Amino acid sequence: MRIVATDCGSTTTKAILIEEKDGVFRQTFRGEAPTTVEEPFADVTLGVANSVTELQELSGYKLIADDGTIIRRKNASDPDGCDLYISTSSAGGGLQMMVAGVVREMTAESAKRAALGAGAIVMDTIASNDRRKPHEQIQRIRELRPDMVLVSGGTDGGDTKKVIEIAELIAPARPRPRFGGEYKLPLIFAGNKEARETIERVFSGEGFALSVVDNLRPTLERENLGPARERIHDVFLEHVMAHAPGYDKLMTWANAPIMPTPGAVGDILQTIAKGRGINVVGVDIGGATTDMFSVFGGVFNRTVSANLGMSYSISNVCAEAGMDSVLRWVHLDMDERELRNRVKNKMIRPTTIPQTLEALVFEQAVSREALRLAYIQHKSFATTLKGVQQQRTVGDAFSQKEAGGSLVDNMSLDLMVASGGVLSHAPRMEQTALMMIDAFEPEGFTEIAKDSIFMMPHLGVLASVNPRAAMEVFEKDCLVVLGWCVAPRGEVRAGRPAFDFTLRRANEVVAQGQLIGGEMRLVRFGHGEVGTLEVRPERGLDMGSGPGKPVTREVRGGAVGIVLDGRGRPLKLPTSAVERRACVEQWLKALEVYE
């Protein structure tokens, strides 16, 4: 079996070759070429063919025919071609949507979750209670140029008036589609089924292509995002992709529907979380945006932080976080005025790369803040359903959990997956690990991995046609395990013991010692090594079994090893500049970050 998969990004089209050898699927070659959606080429298949030609040159298999199409094998003994071709796409700015619902925290939020989960960028969320006056909402709708609109509102059988009011705001605003004026703007209605007839009448005028699916919030207690997400994918293919240059041709080449890139990443992370029964957080930090994914207790969430990125948006990260927050991670002398100008120069010349160590240290400091802010946004969005009445027992009366609480719990987080330039291309794996730890502050025992060559989108689509191949390649070639972070929740006292640890490999003690509050330590534990790590936290510190209680877990080795983090959670850096710098230097040295 031979599979070719491509991901058509805004600037680069990436191709990978997956082959089944001795009954096991492995990713064998990769190629890339500039994306050719924009003028003068205006045909995405040219970039696809160029990237697959690179695979051809590297692998020795003939994969591209003389007419520029991908060759298919007639049988397994055929030396040329592939058996399966699949693709994802985020070219041309990806899928951009406007969503609407009645109550911002309820149906509108569910609609936003459906759109984000399908891989869209949500341009705005309109709701009856979004604190804007109706004419301001209409003005906003008129300004937006979405690819499609998703309208929800009301539970099935409930009040119809409010959702019709929302529809009556959208219809006269006549939002125009982003591409071209000729085609009708796709609008999906996923609200109260009792309102369907009226909704159809409201949007019956020219300009809208209405489709109706099951209510995404049939009751307050239940979300039903599947039908809306599927319809978004269909509309993406029928309307949006069909109007992008060359996609009509690409769709005929592919064996599975072309998916929006982030939607595919979400799918593979869900597959992994389900397959291994774990909680996962994934991040993809790009030049303009940061995508966050999480699966906690089987519930998937995705957020896009639109202006948190490392090149186009680097200035926005510094503005939002504040330069002081960025510079707290820096251990070298830097002139703030010069840094501010450098940030702006990176913004206007986004393709430059750090040549000096000083420039790298600064960019990695910015990335910590971008990731931290994106994670805060994600945690506040990935919540249990709001507006749900909960039945409580006497025991619950003492619990702090309530409706609308975040699903993201760093103590129950099992795996963090890093991807995106600044994380994937960091010169040392230790840098990637520490950026992730500083930004996300994992608690207890957390495995850290990175996507080797940003293969997750390809595997997300592959999972829909060949789940075994997707899983095997994900485990063997996609993920590079960096190691583990082991950290207590709670406030540590500087200079006082935080926790004791003992790492054993087959009953032999590999490492043993005590972490002091504020200290970090690295225990090298390489690929393929398996051991047990026992930790005994001090009173008041929790490492997974409750405050002061010991924990023993199996750990696997990785490129970095086991990071013992005695800094406590939430992470607090000293306020004094001298002390802060001394701390940061100790952490960097302990983890051999820049050595």
Question: Would you tell me which residues interact with another protein (CB under 8 A)?
Answer: 10-11, 38, 92-93, 134-135, 138-139, 142, 160-161, 164-165, 168-169, 172-174, 198, 288, 307, 312-313, 315-316, 318-320, 337-338, 340-345, 347-360, 425, 427-428, 594
- Per the document, the length of the chain is 595
User: 3-class DSSP state for residue 589?
Assistant: helix
- Comparing C-alpha atoms, which of 16, 97, 38 is closest to residue 246? 38
Of 169 and 480, the one with the shorter C-beta distance to another protein is: 169
Contacts of 233 (CB under 8 A, 6+ apart): 118, 257, 259, 260, 263
- Is residue 286 within 8 A of residue 425, CB to CB? The reply is no
Q: How far apart are CA 579 and CA 520, in angstroms?
A: 15
Q: How far apart are CA 184 and CA 156, in angstroms?
A: 28
Q: How far apart are CA 43 and CA 46, in angstroms?
A: 6
Of 94 and 568, the one with the shorter C-beta distance to another protein is: 94
Of 425 and 468, the one with the shorter C-beta distance to another protein is: 425
Tokens of 5: 């998969």
Of 21 and 349, the one with the shorter C-beta distance to another protein is: 349
CB of 498 to another protein, least distance (A): 31
CB of 346 to another protein, least distance (A): 8
CB of 360 to another protein, least distance (A): 4
Of 38 and 78, the one with the shorter C-beta distance to another protein is: 38
Of 74 and 161, the one with the shorter C-beta distance to another protein is: 161
- Classify residue 444 as exposed, middle or buried by CB count within 10 Å of its CB (0-12, 13-18, 19+): buried
- Is residue 371 within 8 A of residue 282, CB to CB? The reply is no
CB of 361 to another protein, least distance (A): 9
CB of 501 to another protein, least distance (A): 30
3-class secondary structure for 452-501? CCCCHHHHHHHHHHCHHHHHHHHHHHHEEEEEEEEECEECCCECCEEEEE
Q: How far apart are CA 526 and CA 510, in angstroms?
A: 12
CB of 91 to another protein, least distance (A): 8
Q: Regarding beta strands 259-260 and 185-189, do their DSSP bridges make them parallel or antiparallel, or are they unpaired?
A: unpaired
CB of 181 to another protein, least distance (A): 8
Of 317 and 486, the one with the shorter C-beta distance to another protein is: 317
CB of 195 to another protein, least distance (A): 8
Q: How distant is the alpha carbon of residue 349 from its chain centre?
A: 25
Of 221 and 336, the one with the shorter C-beta distance to another protein is: 336
